[in-house]
Amino acid sequence: MRDGEDNQDGFAAPARAGLSRVRDLAFSLPGKLLGLSILFVFIAEILIFFPSAANFRTEWLMDRAEAAHLAALAAESAEDVMLGEDMVRELLAGAEAVSVARVTEGVNELVLGGTLRGGELVTADLTKENFFDALLATCHTFIAPQGRYVRIIATPRTRQGSGELISVIVPEDGLKRELFAYSRNIAWLSLFIAVVTGGLLYVFLLFMLVRPMRKLAKAMTRFQEDPLDTSRAVTAGTRLDEIGQAEAALAAMQSEVRSAFAQRERLAALGGAVARINHDLRNVFASAQLVSDRLAMSKDERVAGMGARLLRAVDRGIRLCQETLDYGKSQEREPDLKSINLRNAIDDAAGDAFAATGAAEWRNDVDEVVFVSADPDHLHRIFVNLVRNAVQAMEKQDAAALTVTAEAEDAVVRVALTDTGPGVPGRVRETLFQPFGVSGTKSGSGLGLSIARELARAMGGDVTLKATGEDGTTFEVRLTAV
């Protein structure tokens, strides 16, 4: 018993494997293309079949009418001879008809007559029947009961224009039988055409579409496994179609991604080095700060002045180290949006900036009724950075002035901060909002505007350079109104 079960398992395993391969092929892209190609061609053949079947029916009926007309002419030519019953039957059998009559000016004249066996009689008037009538009648023929008769009314081809008609009654079983035979032939032919056409389309699409797509898919998978391996790179081909464009785009993307990964590794290494250097620099600056404090308290005015200058330089170095470390941390936290009085928030930020950097003539023209939806800390840091930058830009001017205004437009509040400085140099504008970009002041780290824009965008706003020139610079902060 155990041996029989083993044999069954031995036969079943290859069968299951074969079925699995067939199923995989059927549901693969080539299999789907082949199946859909055959299906669509077969549907087209079906749509063509019914008109061709209707035309076959019309031709069959017309052939029966022509044969009956010839039988009627034979009977008329032998009118002097008394036709016997056997002769009449022979003529009708040759025309496959039960009876034949001529219709002249609406009057039926029986030429040859036979006996109907009680079946249903339907009329096919080929002189009035249009395409849709023929199509409907063909469908009725397929489902018609056995023993039905068709009365054919037609104009013989040799009597066109004479007004003479021929009326023939024939059994419909012959028409039905030949229609089914015609349908079988059409079905086999359609299946053959569908398979051949589908196969040709399959081979064409396999080489022109499926195989290149598979190649691209495998290339993307291999690249995903190890983006830094240059041997897995895709080489753009010479094709000018969409596949070629996809290959070129993938090759370009892979090159950009590898460059981005390499740059990330370099930046990570640089970040680690900067963190270590910052740590050591902060210790050095701490020692220098103690010395400069003592020098600043010297009774010698010259030494005290030099100590004060040294103290300011040390403070700037410490601040630069701290800002560099702060920027290298993870991204800013998600903003906690609240309704904030804009005028008061800007005044608070300006006060902190003035205390740390230096004073300037301050004019806040923001209406007290203007409220914005913002994170209090983010908003404070934005305007502290902007005001501090403006004060540093005007440090060599005797009459430094800073003005802030705000305009509400729909759901947006546009805040303009204008200074009377010398303007932003062209070389600075190019990297104005980039981290560690070219700074307009010697003590600047190039981080203030980058941080301000990042914070503003996190709240759904933005910071932009609106205007700059010799008479001053205006930065615009876009915020969400309440």
CATH number at residue 438: 3.30.565.10
**Do residue 49 and residue 184 come from a single domain?**
yes
Asked whether residue 230 is domain-assigned, the answer is no
DSSP tag of 234:
P
Mark which of 300, 327, 354 sits at the end of a domain: 327
Q: Are both 168 and 296 inside the same structural domain?
A: no
| Cα–Cα distance, 395 to 402 (Å, whole number) | 12
122: its two tokens: 């339907």
349 and 323 in a common domain = no
Same domain, 292 and 355: no
Q: Are residues 38 and 167 in the same domain?
A: yes
Same-domain check for residues 318 and 349:
no
Last residue of a domain, which of 151, 176, 191?
191
Pairing of strands 149-154, 165-171: antiparallel
Structural domain contains residue 363: yes
Establish if 211 belongs to a structural domain. Answer: no
Q: Give the residue among 393, 392, 348, 344 at the shortest CA–CA distance from 367.
A: 344
Whether 461 maps to a domain, the answer reads: yes
Looking at residue 340, its pLDDT comes to 95
Which residues form the domain of 383? 338-481
> What total number of domains does the chain contain?
3
206 in a structural domain: no
Query: pLDDT digits over 115-154, tens only?
Result: 777 778 899 999 888 989 999 999 999 888 888 999 999 9
- Let me know if residue 210 belongs to a domain: no
Instruction: List the structure tokens of 341.
Output: 């009085």
Which residues lie across from 405 on neighbouring strands? 416
Closest by CA position to 75, among listed 166, 159, 155: 166
State pLDDT tens for residues 264-300: 777 676 666 666 666 666 666 676 777 777 777 777 7
Which of these three, 173, 191, 209, is where a domain ends?
Answer: 191
Residue 201 lies in a domain: no
Residues 400 and 303 in one domain: no
Per DSSP (E only), the strands in 356-438 are: 361-364, 371-374, 401-409, 412-419
Q: For the whole prediction, is pTM greater than 0.75? A: no
- Asked if 36 and 73 sit in the same domain, the reply is yes
Same domain, 294 and 343: no
Tokens of 213: 């797509």
Tens of pLDDT, residue by residue, the chain (482 residues): 455 555 555 556 666 666 666 666 666 666 777 777 777 877 887 888 889 999 999 999 998 888 888 777 776 665 555 555 566 566 667 667 788 888 776 666 766 776 777 778 899 999 888 989 999 999 999 888 888 999 999 988 766 666 778 888 988 988 999 999 999 998 888 888 877 877 787 777 777 777 777 777 777 777 777 776 766 777 766 667 777 777 777 777 777 777 777 777 776 766 666 666 666 666 666 767 777 777 777 777 777 777 776 766 666 666 666 666 665 554 556 888 999 999 999 998 998 888 777 888 999 999 999 999 999 989 998 998 999 889 988 887 778 899 999 999 889 999 999 999 888 888 788 778 877 655 555 444 556 788 889 899 999 999 999 999 888 999 999 999 98
As given in the structure block, the two tokens for residue 414 are 């546009």
Same domain, 8 and 42: yes
Are 374 and 291 contained in the same domain?
A: no
* Same domain flag for 378 and 313: no
Establish if 198 belongs to a structural domain.
no
Locus of tokens 């079983």: 173
pLDDT of residue 9: 55
